[in-house]
C-alpha cells in the first residue's frame, strides 16, 4: 500500500468523527463570517451611495435633492451648505498625504528591513523588530496630536509661512505610522530569500552591501512592492491622525506643487468625520454623501490591493 493510500484511509476514517466535524464547522463559520461582513459592507456602501446620485436615487425611492455623478467625480469644490459635492477637493488632499507619507516610509522602511534581514545579529533583531512594531500599536489620534504639538512647530521654524494645520505635518506623521508595515513585510520577504543566493554572491567577490542591494532586494521585490501597496492603502484610509493634523478646510490642491503641502486641506476620511460630527439631517443629501465618499475610498483601496496581488503573483520568485 502506498503512502497516499495510507493517508487517504486515515483521512477518511477521521473526517466524519464528531470532533472533526465540529472543528471543520467552526473554521467554516469563521471564514464565512469574514465573507458575510465584507459583502454586507459593500452592499451598505453601494445602496446608500446610490441614493446620493441623481441617476439612481429615484430608483431607490428617494425624494429630495440629489447630486450628479459627473459633478461628484469631476468637481473641485466641496461645500456642504451650498450643496457642492466635488470629491476631487477631498481626493487631492488624500493623494498628497499618501505621496508625502510614501516619501517618508518607503525608503526608511526598506532600509530598516535590509538592516534587520542582512546586518542585524539575532540578538539585536529580537529586540529591534518588536520595538519597531510597537509604533503600529500607538493610537492614531496620539499621532495626530504629536504632529500638531511637535512636528508642526518644528516645520514652522524652517518654513514660517506654514499654517497650524498643514499637509506636511500630516504626511510626516502618517509616514511614521506605516514604517512598521513596510519594514515588517519587506523583512519577511528578504528573510525568505535562500542563503544559497547570498553565498553565490559572496563567492563572486561581492560585498555585503552588493549582496543586500543587488541580490536580496531584487529577489524579494514582489514582497517589497506588496508592502508598499498595503502601506499606502493604510495611509489612504488613515482617519484620526489626518483629522487632527491636516485641518478641516476643503480645497483642491495640486499634488505636484511643493508649496501646496504647507496649506491645510480636508482628506476624504477627515471629511467623513466632519460630516458625522456636524449638524446634518439623517437621510439628507449631506448624510448620503458620507456613503459616496466611503464608496470612493473603498474603490481606490480595492484597486490598490488588486494591483498588489497582481504584482506579487506576477513577479514572485519560486525557490
Binning pLDDT at 50, 70 and 90, where does residue 173 land?
very high
Binning pLDDT at 50, 70 and 90, where does residue 107 land?
very high
The CATH number of the domain where 81 resides is what? Answer: 1.10.3720.10
Taking 90 as the threshold, does the pLDDT of residue 169 lie above it?
A: yes
Task: Look at residue 13 in the predicted model and tell me its pLDDT.
Answer: 55
Both 32 and 91 in one domain: the answer is no
pLDDT in tens, 28-68: 899 999 899 989 999 999 998 888 888 888 877 777 778 88
Is 62 inside any structural domain?
no
What is the overall mean pLDDT for the chain? 86
Is 61 inside any structural domain?
no
C-alpha separations of 224 from 114, 134, 215 in Å: 11, 21, 14
Task: Look at residue 5 in the predicted model and tell me its pLDDT.
Answer: 61
Per-residue pLDDT, averaged over 9-36, amounts to: 77
Is 166 inside any structural domain?
yes
Both 304 and 167 in one domain: the answer is yes
Both 181 and 124 in one domain: the answer is yes
Both 152 and 78 in one domain: the answer is yes
Task: Look at residue 151 in the predicted model and tell me its pLDDT.
Answer: 92
When mean pLDDT is compared across 106-120, 193-207, 215-229, 267-281, the lowest value belongs to: 267-281
pLDDT in tens, 198-254: 888 888 888 888 888 888 988 888 889 888 988 998 899 888 889 888 888 888 998
Rounded-to-integer distance, Cα 293 and Cα 85, Å: 10
Under 8 Å between Cβ of 66 and 291: no
Both 96 and 9 in one domain: the answer is no
Task: Look at residue 282 in the predicted model and tell me its pLDDT.
Answer: 67
Both 133 and 213 in one domain: the answer is yes
Return the HEC string of the chain. Answer: CCHHHHHHHHHHHHCCCHHHHHHHHHHHHHHHHHHHHHHHHHHHHHHHHHCCECCCCHHHCCCCCCECHHHHHHCCCEECCCCEECCHHHHHHHHHHHHHHHHHHHHHHHHHHHHHHHHCCHHHHHHHHHHHHHHHHCCHHHHHHHHHHHHHHHHHHHCCCCCCCCHHHHHHHHHHHHHHHHHHHHHHHHHCCCHHHHHHHHHCCCCHHHHHHHHHHHHCHHHHHHHHHHHHHHHHHCCHHHHHHCCCCCCCCCCCCHHHHHCCCCCHHHHHHHHHHCCCCCCCHHHHHHHHHHHHHHHHHHHHHHHHHHHHHHCCCCC
Domain count, the chain: 2
Binning pLDDT at 50, 70 and 90, where does residue 103 land?
very high
Residues 6+ positions from 202 with CB-CB distance below 8 Å: 211
Is 240 inside any structural domain?
yes
Both 76 and 47 in one domain: the answer is no
Taking 90 as the threshold, does the pLDDT of residue 1 lie above it?
A: no
Taking 70 as the threshold, does the pLDDT of residue 95 lie above it?
A: yes
Both 42 and 75 in one domain: the answer is no
Both 162 and 274 in one domain: the answer is yes
Is 136 inside any structural domain?
yes
Both 174 and 286 in one domain: the answer is yes
Both 43 and 158 in one domain: the answer is no
Is 60 inside any structural domain?
no
Both 207 and 156 in one domain: the answer is yes
Residue with cell 502506498: 2
Is 101 inside any structural domain?
yes
Rounded-to-integer distance, Cα 154 and Cα 14, Å: 65
Instruction: For residue 39, give its domain range.
Output: 3-51
Is 307 inside any structural domain?
yes
Amino acid at each position: 500500500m502506498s503512502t497516499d493510500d495510507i493517508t487517504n484511509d486515515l483521512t477518511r476514517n477521521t473526517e466524519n468523527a464528531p470532533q472533526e466535524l465540529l472543528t471543520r464547522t467552526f473554521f467554516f463559520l469563521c471564514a464565512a463570517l469574514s465573507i458575510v461582513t465584507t459583502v454586507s459592507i459593500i452592499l451598505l456602501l453601494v445602496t446608500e451611495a446610490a441614493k446620493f446620485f441623481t441617476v439612481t436615487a429615484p430608483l431607490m425611492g428617494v425624494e429630495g435633492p440629489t447630486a450628479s455623478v459627473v459633478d461628484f467625480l469631476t468637481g473641485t469644490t466641496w461645500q456642504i451648505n451650498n450643496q457642492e459635492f466635488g470629491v476631487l477637493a477631498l481626493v487631492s488632499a488624500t493623494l498628497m498625504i499618501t505621496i508625502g507619507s510614501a516619501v517618508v516610509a518607503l525608503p526608511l522602511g526598506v532600509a530598516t528591513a535590509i538592516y534587520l534581514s542582512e546586518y542585524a545579529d539575532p540578538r539585536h533583531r529580537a529586540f529591534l523588530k518588536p520595538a519597531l512594531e510597537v509604533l503600529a500599536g500607538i493610537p492614531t489620534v496620539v499621532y495626530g496630536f504629536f504632529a500638531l504639538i511637535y512636528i508642526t512647530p518644528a516645520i514652522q521654524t524652517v518654513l514660517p509661512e506654514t499654517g497650524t494645520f498643514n499637509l506636511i505635518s500630516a504626511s510626516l506623521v502618517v509616514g511614521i505610522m506605516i514604517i512598521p508595515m513596510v519594514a515588517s513585510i519587506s523583512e519577511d520577504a528578504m528573510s525568505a530569500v535562500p542563503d544559497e543566493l547570498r553565498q553565490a554572491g559572496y563567492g563572486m567577490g561581492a560585498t555585503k552591501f552588493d549582496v543586500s542591494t543587488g541580490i536580496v532586494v531584487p529577489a524579494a521585490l514582489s514582497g517589497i512592492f506588496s508592502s508598499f501597496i498595503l502601506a499606502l492603502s493604510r495611509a489612504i484610509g488613515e482617519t484620526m491622525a489626518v483629522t487632527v493634523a491636516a485641518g478641516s478646510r476643503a480645497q483642491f490642491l495640486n499634488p505636484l506643487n511643493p508649496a501646496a503641502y504647507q496649506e491645510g486641506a480636508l482628506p476624504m476620511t477627515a471629511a467623513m468625520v466632519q460630516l458625522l460630527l456636524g449638524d446634518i439631517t439623517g437621510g439628507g443629501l449631506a448624510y448620503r454623501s458620507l456613503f459616496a465618499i466611503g464608496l470612493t475610498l473603498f474603490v481606490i483601496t480595492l484597486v490598490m490591493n488588486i494591483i498588489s496581488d497582481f504584482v506579487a503573483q506576477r513577479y514572485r520568485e519560486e525557490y
